[in-house]
Structure 1
Amino acid sequence: MTAPRVTVSPPSPSGGRRVTVDGEALGVAYGPADIAEFLRRAGLEGLDAADVERSAVIEWRGGGPGVWSPPGSRT
């Protein structure tokens, strides 16, 4: 069994990042805790916010786990 492919998209202009698992949209996250909750709801138990930030199964696009605002924003 292969690990699910978790993708966190770049921050949107209004803030937040879209999260998908194997291409299925889970929602828009505004921090690592949101991602952990989305994954829990999708049946991927055992990841808290700190785990999300360092997990090898998550592909961060447009910046890592510390980036939640689009480039050029003041937040």
Structure 2
Amino acid sequence: MQTATIIIKGMTCMGCVNSVKTVLNNLSGIIQAEVTLEPAQASIQYDSNNINVDQIKAAIVDVGFEVMN
């Protein structure tokens, strides 16, 4: 199990937080995803055998937000 913290730009409300969390939780390999508005970030535990950080970041971008790291 790996852990990543991804800073997200563009989230303005809890609807945004829920959108990102839903996308992350639907990805294969995500064990747990916690998304917060302040600070605007996602803390993710994932199985590196099934998914990598670049794929996670791409999913966040696909839903309409920008990743900062």
After TM superposition, the score normalised by the length of structure 1 is 0.32
Q: Which has the higher helix share?
A: 2
Bigger-Rg structure (1/2): 1
Higher strand residue share: 2
TM-score normalized with structure 2 length: 0.34
